[in-house]
Amino acid sequence: MIFYWVTSKILWVPLYLLLFYLTYLKFKWRVFTVGIFIGLLFLIGDQTSVKLFKDVFERLRPCHNSEITNMVHIINGHCGGQYGFVSSHATNSFALTVFIGFLLKKHYRFMFPMMLFWAALVSYSRIYVGVHFPADILGGAVLGSAVGFLVYGLMKLLNNKFNLKLVEL
């Protein structure tokens, strides 16, 4: 039952508030600019995981696969959409982890290891509740890490090339 809560988004609201607060301490009003890039991060991660992976590969989730469905441990009858490769939870978790890790690494050394633990825990919970295979998680982690790196790079490029001073990096 613990992983049912771990996999829910509501449990992590305090973490998101902490990230907002720590980002605010370092960037003041520019925290809203960071928020725009985080929104872009989730938009790209979520749409890419669905449109370029789930809708293309069409690999059934374990809980939808009739050959193994009787072996899958489903919690509270929730299975999710038909297809599972790649995990959108893993994609978004790792995208945020990499982005925040790069953004705050100079200010809070503990941030990246803490976020990495969080992303791995959330991702593992998706396997535990029977909605993803391990490869779905691994694919989502790789995709999310790439998205986080690219969005951070875009923010840095806009900062440097156009001297926008979006945030002090």
pLDDT digits (tens, 9 = 90+) for 10-39: 767 888 888 899 888 888 888 888 899 999
| pLDDT value of residue 106 | 84
| pLDDT value of residue 154 | 92
| pLDDT value of residue 30 | 82
- Please identify every stretch of the chain with a pLDDT value under 50, giving residue numbers as ranges: none
- The residue extents of the domains of the chain are 22-161
Q: DSSP code of 103?
A: H
| pLDDT value of residue 85 | 93
| pLDDT value of residue 128 | 83
Q: At what angle do helices 31-47 and 88-104 cross, to 10 degrees?
A: 150
Spatial contact of 4 and 129, defined as CB atoms under 8 Å apart: yes
Of 136, 137, 56, 42, nearest to 98 by C-alpha is 42
Q: Which two tokens stand for residue 48?
A: 């890419």
Q: DSSP code of 107?
A: T
Distance, in Å, from the CA atom of 49 to the CA atom of 66, rounded to the nearest integer, reads 23
